[in-house]
Amino acid sequence: MPNKLEKFAEFNTFKNCSYLPFEKTKERHPLAGTWHQAYFKNNNPIVLELGCGRGEYTVGLATKNPQKNYIGVDIKGNRIWTGAKFAIENKLNNVAFVRTRIDFIEFCFSENEIDEIWITFPDPQPQKNRTRKRLTNPLFLNRYKKFLKKDGLVHLKTDSTFFYEYTLEVLLEEKRPILFCTSDLYENNPSENTELTDIQTYYEQLFSAKGEKIKYCCFKIS
């Protein structure tokens, strides 16, 4: 298994990976607005996973749904390496990864370019002075709105009761439509949706093994 530096080096050679430098916050990703034509070569829906980590959910969804395109986004290239390598070795041409800070996500896509968003086990940022870093903070929701199609779905999976309840409070205050929510996904899976339970990230497996309940929420931004 390559070490961290070797993964970073190999990441930069993967054709399914790209990087939006943190210091160039006013520059747009070169594929923004052209992901369908320039990368995926089709007009299939594009689904985004924010904070994808090792990419388990991105490649899992892509394997289950070849009729959709998937893009995983994370700040750590050595983590993305795992999912990107799997996608290449398994010829998953409907997968791409972007390394950047989610603070700059609006520069990676254009209006109405994304059909759906998954937020899987983000850092809950429980400290009061970290509110602006929470991925369901109103600032982030407004960023997502810039590229998510009208009526596009956002899915949240988390082990954190704090983050789950915080998200519900934000959605209610912002009057964002909540389609479904549960504090125990494995006891209350809507319509027995196998995408919600069959695919597990590293952190989901870790938290479930500790007896943590997995929370889930599906909502719209507009």
Q: How far is residue 112's CA from residue 128's CA, in Å, rounded to a whole number?
A: 33
Q: CB under 8 Å to 50, separation ≥6 — which residues?
A: 73, 102, 105, 117, 118, 119, 120, 122, 135
Q: How far is residue 179's CA from residue 110's CA, in Å, rounded to a whole number?
A: 25
Pairing of strands 178-182, 148-158: unpaired
Pairing of strands 114-120, 46-50: parallel
User: Known catalytic residue: 115?
Assistant: no
Q: CB under 8 Å to 114, separation ≥6 — which residues?
A: 46, 47, 48, 147, 148, 149, 152
Q: Which of 123, 151, 159, 198 is catalytic?
A: 123
Report residue 162 as tokens. 């704090």
> Coil, strand or helix: which one is 185?
coil
Which residues belong to the active site? 123
